[in-house]
Chains A and B, each alone.
Chain A
């Protein structure tokens, strides 16, 4: 009986104009946007490759260790085509130095990016689904019960010995099958376009992640279908149901996300927290400066100067600098001598001793300030963002967005994974510097007796997390979506069973 019902509903739906329109519009939007997104990705990848090459070349050209600027670049995520999330926004190049612990807020943008282009909204496939699929689901659902009621066909169906639950189920299954056609077809075309692009190589894990995105999309689609069905069950007339559906759609998709954030958003970060943390950090660095000066005042060449009066040819600078907004405070000292004079020779052991001391002191101070900076950054930047995301999750769109971001690895955690890797790399670099006694070497400040060995310097590598971690991160949101589905179905069932024909 159920199959008969499904077949009837399916045939009803397939032959409609709205089905054809749904397929057409989804395919059109997804295919054009995927083509554009792939080009965008390729451009970003080219920018990344150029940046990596440039940074490597610059490092090789540096004559001394202290002048060497080690940059780490963040590659674009190919799955950002599905949900761009945080892939574009945080900076994509970050300097690794012993003088500070790098975080997301210290990253900069590749030189090839145009910051003005941010004024345009960027599309991704999930955004298209968010808007179009929900609309289509409501268009398919608004007359599913109210229509039959109006035409009086419901009465005819119920004269047969069928359970009301079966009717609902048949309607749901057949409509979902119809809606899956545009969804799957457009995704299939998108994936074909993706695999055809030379720049993008997807592995098995990526296909699993895309599978996760598809599953979340189906759950999302089904939520909106149920919402439409609920309205249709509660309203007696199709025109009322349609109006109400459209307003509910407008509210959930357009109004809710924007209004909530407008209301709860505060323009500035909490000032007192920033100021107090910054003061603490500043004090630590002042302490550092005292220790540094004390060392200089008591060593074999007493004086205030950091350069130990070396008279080499080249450039040198050293200063404390800070950015209060991101709580960044660091000491930078670069001594880049190409030649050293005869009279400098006896001072060199002392200079080495000094820089060995200074290197360790700077590293330790940076590590100590990180203990304060990390929780403060968390409070100032991450917490409000998390609160806002939690508010957005009150609407199915927010849940769907969060779930697909988690699957694509472009969510907040996925992006922060990269910066965790950068911090780990910094530790690696520091261990290397200690092991080779680079701080105390002549190459730290002078190139007169040979250049630094950049070849054996540790290399940075970053792997996106495994699929099961993506799955774990997506799980709460996907299960919430499924729960909403369940609750909605139960409500619709109760209304439908109680309703008089």
Chain B
């Protein structure tokens, strides 16, 4: 078996495709590293600026009063950029960078709206006239380019031998067919991995020698996992190449079939499936969102009109009605925001689940979850934001409770504690990446990918066993 693998390896090393693959992969990986070194400090800078702004906002509110904290909210909460974004861009440019904890909605001469969590759409994409391209990240290089190269390495491995008549010679020896197949597979895997590993090492060398990007031990661990996933993914395409090559008589036909399969599987299936799945959900309820929001607000105001009239003259009662009104309004509006977000997310999740039929999407999801980018990561960020919002609200209520002079009516200036708040006590938001959760979502993807691979490899074995020489 090793003999066959070695022979296969020597064959490949001298070929044109090996040289071209080396040049292409190294070029791409170096571009990736250079671009990352250029872009990443900017992203970190933008994040740090955002966090500073958020902290200043929080401190300013805390200095003023507890009421200000309860009314204005924590401010914009930023998503921490991942240091491994060069592995998978994960369409981060189409995902929002922050969630908003409190914007001005309305005010009257007496009352101001209480803060709510809002989820702004990404702000830069609408006016962006630049051409839309896939960014050159690892997931593109491996998902598209390396998979194509894997097919180019295997399309003639069996049919080519048969054409030249050398297959008969090999099988004339006392070697079982599966050994031949595995040998060929290993040979192709090793010869493909030489340029690939070389390119990845160069990429990492460039990235790690730079002072701008710091990769900690956990990041290196993640990179290791990512490399293994990449190996599994290339194995998948090598097995596909062997399968078709064993079934088909001529290598030219084998290549045509493989290329067309590749094009449909890798290039078209993700987009088409997403469009089909995304289409089935009609987002009617989100239509006229702002109108619905105003309608709710106005209805509530009318509803409270009579209660205000009843409370006229009684200042204590008026404050109570005011407090109930402000918190009810905030609750309603936040529910509306949540409902819209939930609907949008479920549409995306449906589309993402459907695209799993294509191995390249599974692979991209895996990359994203280990690189800490993409949609799953965004959901995690939103979860963090919600946890923080709860904490923040609890803080306001608890601080207010600690003051016995206060009327404990949150959201109204006269109803809340007027004692100074120490800025250090206010909980601050820090976005974190949770690895174990990553792994849970990734496990199914990993399993699917492995299943695809085993299916194709056994298919190749069955096809090869039945080959007549």
Contact = CB atoms under 8 A, between A and B. Distances in A.
Interface string B97-141: 000000000000000000000000111011111111111100010
A32 B31 contact: no
A70 interface: no
Interface string A39-78: 1100100010010001000100000000000000000000
B347 interface: yes
A114 interface: yes
B170 interface: no
A135 B126 CA distance: 33
A18 interface: yes
A118 B136 contact: no
Contacts of B283: 112-114
Secondary structure class of chain A's binding surface, majority of residues: helix
A40 B255 CA distance: 34
B91 A118 contact: yes
Interface string B342-360: 0011011001000100000
Interface stretch (A218-226, A243-251, A483-491): A243-251
B291 A58 contact: yes
A280 B34 CA distance: 37
A17 B253 contact: yes
A32 B145 CA distance: 25
Interface residues of B, number: 76
A123 B271 contact: yes
A258 B136 contact: yes
B451 interface: no
Interface stretch (A85-93, A302-310, A347-355, A472-480): A85-93
B380 interface: no
Contact of A123 (B27, B131, B268): B268
A32 B272 contact: yes
B205 interface: no
Interface stretch (B239-247, B256-264, B305-313, B423-431): B256-264
A139 B252 CA distance: 9
B344 A385 contact: no
Nearest to A326: B127
A324 B16 CA distance: 54
A423 to B, nearest CB: 16
B28 interface: yes
Interface stretch (B53-61, B227-235, B274-282, B386-394): B274-282
Contact of A262 (B136, B284, B374): B136
A238 B16 CA distance: 13
A440 interface: no
Contacts of B122: 115, 118
Contacts of B267: 131
A244 B284 CA distance: 51
B276 A119 contact: no
Contacts of B148: 246, 250, 254
Contact of B130 (A39, A326, A388): A388
A113 B251 CA distance: 47
B233 to A, nearest CB: 16
B24 A251 contact: yes
Contacts of B253: 17-18
Interface in A222-273: 238-240, 242-244, 246-247, 250-251, 254-255, 257-259, 261-263, 265, 267-268
Given A116-B375, A118-B94, A261-B133, A135 B39 contact: no
Interface in A111-137: 111-123, 128, 131-132, 135
**Which of the four size classes fits the interface of chain A?**
35 or more
Given A116-B375, A246-B148, A267-B39, A105 B275 contact: no
A256 to B, nearest CB: 10
Contacts of A268: 42
Which of B15, B42, B275, B279 lies at the interface centre, i.e. has the most chain A CB atoms within 10 A of its CB? B275
A188 interface: no
Nearest to B278: A117
A111 B42 contact: no
Secondary structure class of chain B's binding surface, majority of residues: helix
A239 to B, nearest CB: 8
B31 A259 contact: yes
A243 B251 CA distance: 12
Contact of B348 (A90, A116, A259, A262): A116
B35 A267 contact: no
A116 B444 CA distance: 23
A273 to B, nearest CB: 15
Contacts of B145: 250, 254-255
Which of A116, A246, A254 lies at the interface centre, i.e. has the most chain B CB atoms within 10 A of its CB? A116
Contacts of A122: 271, 275
A143 B252 CA distance: 10
B74 interface: no
A44 B134 CA distance: 24
A37 B351 CA distance: 15
Contacts of A109: 121, 126
A326 B127 CA distance: 9
A36 B272 CA distance: 7
A392 B132 CA distance: 11
Interface in B198-244: none
B190 to A, nearest CB: 19
A5 interface: no
B38 to A, nearest CB: 8
A136 B285 CA distance: 44
A91 B129 CA distance: 11
Contact of B28 (A28, A50, A91, A259): A259
B20 interface: yes
B286 interface: yes
Contacts of A238: 252
A412 interface: yes
A113 B121 CA distance: 11
A258 B148 CA distance: 16
A389 B131 contact: yes
A90 B126 contact: yes
Nearest to B279: A39
Contacts of A91: 126-127
B126 A263 contact: no
24 contacts: A17-B253, A17-B256, A25-B260, A29-B264, A33-B268, A37-B275, A89-B132, A90-B126, A91-B126, A105-B127, A108-B126, A110-B287, A112-B284, A114-B278, A114-B347, A119-B348, A120-B271, A121-B274, A122-B275, A238-B252, A255-B24, A258-B140, A261-B133, A392-B131
Interface of B: 15-17, 20, 24, 27-28, 31-32, 34-35, 39, 42-43, 91, 94-95, 121-123, 125-136, 140, 144-145, 148-149, 152, 156, 251-253, 255-257, 259-260, 263-264, 267-268, 270-272, 274-276, 278-279, 282-284, 286-291, 344-345, 347-348, 351, 355, 374-375
Given A116-B95, A243-B152, A246-B152, 15 more contacts: A21-B260, A54-B287, A107-B126, A109-B126, A111-B289, A114-B344, A116-B375, A119-B95, A120-B271, A123-B268, A123-B275, A246-B259, A258-B135, A258-B136, A385-B128
